[in-house]
Amino acid sequence: MTSLLVIGGARSGKSRYAQSRAEAQARAESPPLAPYFIATAQAFDNEMRERIKRHQDDRSDGWITIEAPVDLAEAITRWSTPGRVLLVDCLTLWTSNLLLGDHDIAAATTRLIQAIAVARGPIILVANEVGWSIVPDNALARRFRDEAGVVNQHIAEAVSEVQLVAAGLPLKLK
């Protein structure tokens, strides 16, 4: 596995699956790879702080965390080496950060795809599938849903493997 996108709905088990794949990849190499977690979440409220803490508690002490809420391509370029496995969680929050920060999402996605293509070690990316629910009732939410869907399409095309996780079960799409 060189690059993997793990996609699924909210609370589907995608982060747990992605972490287990990263840890298995790290153990499979000799010497073992160092696991790096690239976090895109920003803690703007207590609920998000609790979610972040829960994800941190799920990881063993061996994980190194890199914060990259906007500059994801740069973080991948900087931290990807043959001795590391990178886990990016998640592209959906990254897309939201770009949208709310009025960044050029298409340009940032192009940079991300280029960073994935030249990554010097394995990389696993997590994203929410947001297109399977009701049509949002406001323009910002509809734009977010559309942007997230386009980002997911481009990343799925760029990676070597795609797994859909539903009810904790992975289904290989690519």
Q: Distance between CA atoms of 25 and 158, rounded to whole angstroms?
A: 20
pLDDT at position 19 is: 94
Which candidate in 14, 21, 55, 84 is catalytic?
A: 55
pLDDT in tens, the chain (174 residues): 689 999 999 889 999 999 999 999 999 988 999 999 999 988 777 887 787 777 777 777 789 999 999 999 999 999 999 999 999 999 999 999 999 999 999 999 999 999 999 999 999 999 999 988 888 899 999 999 999 999 999 999 999 999 999 999 999 999
pLDDT at position 136 is: 87
55 is catalytic: yes
List the chain domain ranges. 3-172
Name, in order, each residue with C-beta under 8 angstroms of 79's C-beta and a sequence gap of 6 or more. 36, 38, 66, 86
| Contact predicate 107/73, CB 8 Å | no
Q: Distance between CA atoms of 80 and 103, rounded to whole angstroms?
A: 24
Q: Is the pTM of this model over 0.85?
A: yes
pLDDT at position 1 is: 63
Fold of 3-172: Rossmann fold (3.40.50)
